[in-house]
Amino acid sequence: MSPINVAKFGGTSVANAAAMNNCAEVVLANPATRVVVLSASAGVTNLLVALAQGDLDEAGQEAQLARLTEIQQAILTELGDPGDLSDLIHGQLGEIRTMARQAHLHTDAELADRLIACGELMSTRLFTELLRQRGVKACWQDARQLLRTDSRFGKASVDLAATRALCQAALGPLLGDSLIITQGFIGADGDGRTTTLGRGGSDYSAALLAEALDAGTIEIWTDVPGIYTTDPRLVTRARPIPEISFVEAAEMATFGAKVLHPATLQPAVRQDIPVFVGSSKDPAAGGTWIRASTRTNPLFRAVALRRNQVLVTLHSLNMFHAYGFLAEVFGILARHRISVDLITTSEVSVSLTLDHTGSQSNGEPILGDKVLAELGQLCKVQVETGLALVALIGNRMSEAAGVGSQVFDAIREHNIRMICYGASAHNLCFLVKEDEAGHIVNRLHQELLD
């Protein structure tokens, strides 16, 4: 059998029955597509997260549940309200109500993952029925039987070897005969408990399944036709990029381009699987191919923006001509599973950035009281918010003369809080005030990319 394609559709692509029909057209247009990975319908995960946090009273819970029921029932109605499926969906909604009550009494990360995962479980059931009504032999699969993870609820790590073995055994015999529909974002630990991969993890799920099945391509279908030179909602002159390298796309995803989850490309790079990003609303509009190498490698490819950044400055005179201070700091962060983005140091201070947009599925903040207390025993801690990270993405940037002057001349009227440059030849990034970030992105695009 020739290499298969794994297609993933985001929440807006499965928001309602009409959107799901568009997805079906995209799937059926490519005979190589044998595995389809879906997010929850648009808005559903946010409703479930609100319930999982346990802060709502009974009236608040019922309002969220009513909206959830409305979204699912609208799709059921378009499908003719088939009895078995209707019973299954409403049974799932009943389980959500029970778990929401439990969360209000006492929430925990395991319960939150079980509750939040229900969105994908429902959307995939509905889409499978839609395909069957179109005469397609579609097989629903529970991703918790395919993706094996650790027990870090909210942002689990995947056991690649176990996942490969499970996928080969469960899906291998079906690939030639059925179209497989499964969930993104969710998995299970060794005890069968539901886990989630963190917000936006459906892209990552698709790539992991593609890697496990030795797929030939991955398609990520969203609501925009590919990756743009920057967010077109910020810069009207932004334009789609026909092709981009793995390393450039990884930098863009890491530094804020929301069209891809940052972890998505890791499995694709390991197996050298080309990734296509396109719009399920307008598949004829084309999109972006992400490959190991591209025909052109411009100095400046794109500008990315990541809002809601936190700058932590740690000050201690014990750093002066001393050893081990950074090791202690990173030891604390490692124990709390906190990843650092940017870092700069002086003799007595170290500043580092954390990304609150990369929080856990259940909405828990990254920088909690326990972390601050541990760091506070070691040094003086200063936390700054209201910041945004701007990143220029390109090629051989650290080797080219005049890059710094080009960039900072373009935004000379703005204050830069922190700069990181030189660690990668593919990015130059800096921290600015969040309320100035949009203007800065526009200026950089105008001066360097227009």
Q: What's the rounded Cα separation, in Å, for the pair 101 and 58?
A: 8
Confidence of residue 356 (pLDDT cuts 50, 70, 90): low
Supply φ then ψ for residue 445, to 5 degrees.
-65, -45
| Phi, psi (rounded to 5 degrees) for 237 | -85, 0
Buried b (16+ CB within 10 A) or exposed e, 284-304: eeebbbbbeebeeeeebbbbb
9 is known to lie in a ligand binding site:
yes
pTM score, two decimals?
0.87
Tell me whether residue 258 is annotated as binding: yes
**Does 300 count as an annotated binding residue?**
no
- Is 176 labelled a binding residue? no
Look at residue 257 in the predicted model and tell me its pLDDT: 74
pLDDT digit string (tens) for 331-353?
999 888 888 888 888 888 899 99
Sheet holding 380-394, edge to edge: 343-345, 349-355, 300-315, 380-394, 427-433, 418-421
204 is in an annotated binding site: no
Res. 256: pLDDT tops 80 = no
**Residue 110 annotated as part of some ligand binding site:** no
pLDDT > 50? residue 358? no
Distance CA 78, CA 157 (A): 37
pLDDT of 364 reads: 61
Task: Tell whether residue 45 is among the known ligand binding residues.
Answer: yes
Mean pLDDT, all residues of the chain: 92
Per-residue pLDDT at 204: 95
Q: Which domains does the chain have, with CATH numbers?
A: 5-222 (3.40.1160.10), 301-449 (3.30.2130.10)
Over pLDDT 90: what percentage of the chain? 77
233 labeled part of a ligand binding site: yes
Instruction: Dig out the tokens for 91 from the structure.
Output: 């049974």
